Amino acid sequence: MAPDSPSRLPPRQQLVGLGKWPVVGENASASRPGPWTVSLAGLVAPARQFTLDELSARVDFDDVLDIHCVTRWSKYDVRFRGVRLRSLLAETTVDPTARFISFVARSDRRHSTSLPLGDIESLEPVVALEADGAPLDTQHGGPVRLIVPGRYFYKSVKWLETIELLAEDRLGYWEANAGYHNHADPWLEERFVSPSFSKREAQERLASRDFRDCELLGFDGRQRDLREMKADHSRLRDADFRGANLRGASFAQANLSGARFATCDLRQAVFREADCEGADFSAADLRGADFTGASLFGASFFSDEESRGANEPSRTIRLGPDFPFSDHQLAMLTDQQVLRLNQVPLESLDAD
């Protein structure tokens, strides 16, 4: 729990079911010859390189931590075992000009993130080798990954290969390419940076209802009439469409991570192969909506009150005659969300 936080669960997060640990992002590290090592480089002297055996011999952390993914799922009490980052830094001399640390993965796209050097003591990052008593598997970042308690999990880089001390910050992959917040505090909901568009651009898009192939981070479409809106291949992360009329809209292959569709009219809307991770569809009309191939990790279809069983019939989602979600998609959701979805009556498209 964050200092002074009234709740262990950060805002708008949902607990995954027991035994679930969703895989988000890349599934495997890049293939390279030779043994795995973790390098300590940049503004340090001397530079160091640690084999996995050398890291295992230095293990000084064995404790449970909570995971909070930016796509709105959380997992409590994962036992990680590894080496505290500050212990590795203590084996070399950090140059006084160093102010940031970059963490680089052994991945095809050189996935990375960064932290201010001054935050290391309070955050206590861990170079982890094990999770829940077993070596980290590949899809969850094994054989070695960074764990940063108190931050969204994209700060906990998989397949850690390089730790580099820097004088100036170097934005990580998600921060530089997807607008993810560089600080990433879950209790402050620091998921994304400020909107990435001008007021004029937003107005032009609204007038044409054509959002195809555009990037409008944090777009505000609340209560608007956007019927038949075209948003295929768009990047509308953290967009707010609450209460909008989006009947017949198309979001095929769009990035809608963290978007809010609560109380929307989404009848016959298309979400084929869209990234709907962390999106909120509570109380939306989903009759005839097409979610084929969409990613739904962390998505929600009921408000927190409804998920606890409150009787709010006017706030319940509506589903058409054909249940829109596959078993694979249901496995991405929390157990409570699945239970409630299976209780929603199926209606005709023409029902009032």
Q: What is the pLDDT of residues 239-279, one digit of tens each?
A: 999 999 999 999 999 999 999 999 999 999 999 999 999 99
What average pLDDT does the segment 38-52 reach?
Answer: 98
314 burial (CB, 10 Å; 0-12 / 13-18 / 19+) is exposed
Give percent of the chain with pLDDT exceeding 90: 73
User: Where does the chain show beta strands of DSSP type E?
Assistant: 14-15, 37-42, 44-45, 48-51, 61-68, 73-84, 93-94, 100-105, 112-116, 126-131, 134-135, 145-147, 160-166
What average pLDDT does the segment 70-92 reach?
Answer: 96
How is residue 82 written in tokens?
A: 């590894």
Would you state the pLDDT for residue 194? 64
Residue 98: count of CB within 10 angstroms of its CB: 16
What average pLDDT does the segment 168-175 reach?
Answer: 93
Residue 310: pLDDT band (50, 70, 90) is very low
Residue-wise pLDDT tens digits, 1-37: 554 455 899 998 988 888 889 888 787 888 888 899 9
Would you state the pLDDT for residue 95? 98
Topology classification of domain 14-188: Sulfite Oxidase; Chain A, domain 2 (3.90.420)
What average pLDDT does the segment 101-117 reach?
Answer: 94
Topology classification of domain 194-352: Pectate Lyase C-like (2.160.20)
Would you state the pLDDT for residue 312? 38
Would you state the pLDDT for residue 313? 39
The rounded mean pLDDT for the chain is: 91
What average pLDDT does the segment 283-287 reach?
Answer: 96
Residue-wise pLDDT tens digits, 189-213: 999 886 666 778 878 888 899 999 9
Residue-wise pLDDT tens digits, 118-165: 999 999 999 999 999 999 999 999 999 999 999 999 999 999 999 999
Give the phi and the psi of residue 199 in degrees, each rounded to 5. Answer: -60, -40
Residue 111: pLDDT band (50, 70, 90) is very high
150 closest CA partner among 304, 330, 8, 351: 8
Task: Sketch the domain layout of the chain as residue ranges.
Answer: 14-188, 194-352
244 closest CA partner among 278, 281, 216, 279: 281
